Amino acid sequence: MPGAYSHQACLEVYPEAEAIACNTFEGAVAAVKNGTADLAMLPVENSTYGRVADIHHLLPETGLHIIGEHFVRVHINLLGAPGSTMEDITSAMSHTVLLGQCRKFLRRHNLKPVTGADTAGSAEIVASRGDKTLAALASPLAAKTYGLEVLAEHIEDYDNNTTRFLVMSPEPIKARQSDKELITTFVFRVRNIPAALYKAMGGFATNGVNMVKLESYMLDGSFTATQFYADVVGHPEDPPLKRALEELDYFTSMVEILGVYEADLSRG
């Protein structure tokens, strides 16, 4: 919905572009693939909550390429209907990921968490209902978008609360070796041999490649079918990373590069 943190990310990275609201991640991908939108902005992980559910399953299936990343400092506000006060509020609605980022505040004020479809959608519901006992947990942008009262500001549990977004495009960018740090994102499945993961990762260590992220997730509901998602520093044509990927290929049944792009300045 307009006013969501994804909307904020779009405005920060592409201030001149028009943001198109989509109900699902799949809907955002479909909008790019059918030409309705040029790019998709997808949240992948939050520093407090962790991985955004299902996103790693979706990324390899989109047919799109990662062309950038952006980190949004997530400030959570408690938003009430016009005329409401902090004392009126008994429950707070938001996306389950955001509810997990301000648990301490909710407990301290004895507020019942209510799961909504998304953050800005929750703000819209609060605005439309006019119920002074119900608040939304959403961005300052959502407060302006739906005309809500800001009853409490920056209520996130941790002051470094940040969400990482990936920019997806139908075409890869021509990212080459440069003075800017590059990130290569890929997924892979290891072969069914002893110590396959250990051996596959060895090439990155021996070639001095910095792996900044490695996550596993199950496929097709099976405990034995595991896929890995990785971010490494460098370009696939850099000799150290090229050698590491060649070694990785030997111990895997599948490797797919999802994108090569410049690291966000906020990284680290």
**What are the tens digits of pLDDT across the range 30-65?**
999 999 999 999 999 988 888 887 787 788 889 999
Residue 157 maps to a domain: no
Question: For all residues of the chain together, what is the average pLDDT?
Answer: 92
| Residue 48 known to be catalytic | no
Question: Per residue in 97-113, pLDDT tens?
Answer: 899 999 999 999 999 99
Instruction: List the catalytic residue out of 163, 184, 185, 252.
Output: 163
Question: Per residue in 127-167, pLDDT tens?
Answer: 999 999 999 999 999 999 999 999 999 999 998 999 999 99
**3-class state of residue 61 by DSSP:** helix
Query: Does pLDDT of 177 surpass 60?
Result: no
Tokens 């004020």 locate to 109
Closest to 225 (Cα-Cα) out of 262, 188, 257, 260: 188
Last residue of a domain, one of 123, 139, 169: 169
Query: Does pLDDT of 226 surpass 80?
Result: no
Residue 174 maps to a domain: no
User: Rounded mean pLDDT of 185-213?
Assistant: 91
pLDDT band at 115 (very low <50, low <70, confident <90, very high): very high
In angstroms, the CA 218 to CA 229 distance is 11
Same domain, 64 and 100: no
pLDDT band at 221 (very low <50, low <70, confident <90, very high): low
Q: What is the span of the domain harbouring residue 120?
A: 77-152
The amino acid present at 47, given as its one-letter code, is S
The pair of structure tokens assigned to 104 is 């301490």
Residue 110 maps to a domain: yes
Same domain, 90 and 48: no
Last residue of a domain, one of 169, 198, 225: 169
Residue 144 maps to a domain: yes
Residue 57 maps to a domain: yes
CB atoms within 10 A of CB 109: 15
* Domain count across the chain: 3
Same domain, 16 and 56: yes
Instruction: List the catalytic residue out of 48, 105, 119, 165.
Output: 165
Same domain, 244 and 210: yes
User: Rounded mean pLDDT of 116-132?
Assistant: 94
Residue 213 maps to a domain: yes
Residue 176 maps to a domain: no
Cα-flanking dihedrals φ and ψ of residue 167, to 5°? -95, 125
In angstroms, the CA 236 to CA 243 distance is 9
Query: Does pLDDT of 222 surpass 70?
Result: no
Same domain, 229 and 186: yes
Last residue of a domain, one of 169, 202, 226: 169
pLDDT band at 223 (very low <50, low <70, confident <90, very high): low
Q: Would you put residue 98 in left (φ > 0), alpha (ψ -120 to 50) or beta?
A: alpha
| Portion of the chain with pLDDT greater than 90, in percent | 76
pLDDT at position 266: 81
pLDDT at position 23: 86
Same domain, 130 and 59: no
Closest to 155 (Cα-Cα) out of 226, 228, 76: 76
| Residue 228 known to be catalytic | no
Closest to 43 (Cα-Cα) out of 120, 108, 105: 120
pLDDT at position 180: 81
Query: Does pLDDT of 210 surpass 60?
Result: yes
Residue 148 maps to a domain: yes
Task: Spell out the residues 6+ positions from residue 14 whose beta carbon is closer than 8 angstroms to its own.
Answer: 39
CATH at residue 67: 3.40.190.10
In angstroms, the CA 100 to CA 138 distance is 13
CATH at residue 233: 3.30.70.260
pLDDT at position 218: 75
Query: Does pLDDT of 225 surpass 90?
Result: no
Tokens 């049944």 locate to 253
pLDDT band at 117 (very low <50, low <70, confident <90, very high): confident
Query: Does pLDDT of 186 surpass 60?
Result: yes
pLDDT at position 268: 60
pLDDT band at 176 (very low <50, low <70, confident <90, very high): low
Same domain, 25 and 38: yes
Closest to 5 (Cα-Cα) out of 95, 121, 119: 119
CB atoms within 10 A of CB 78: 25
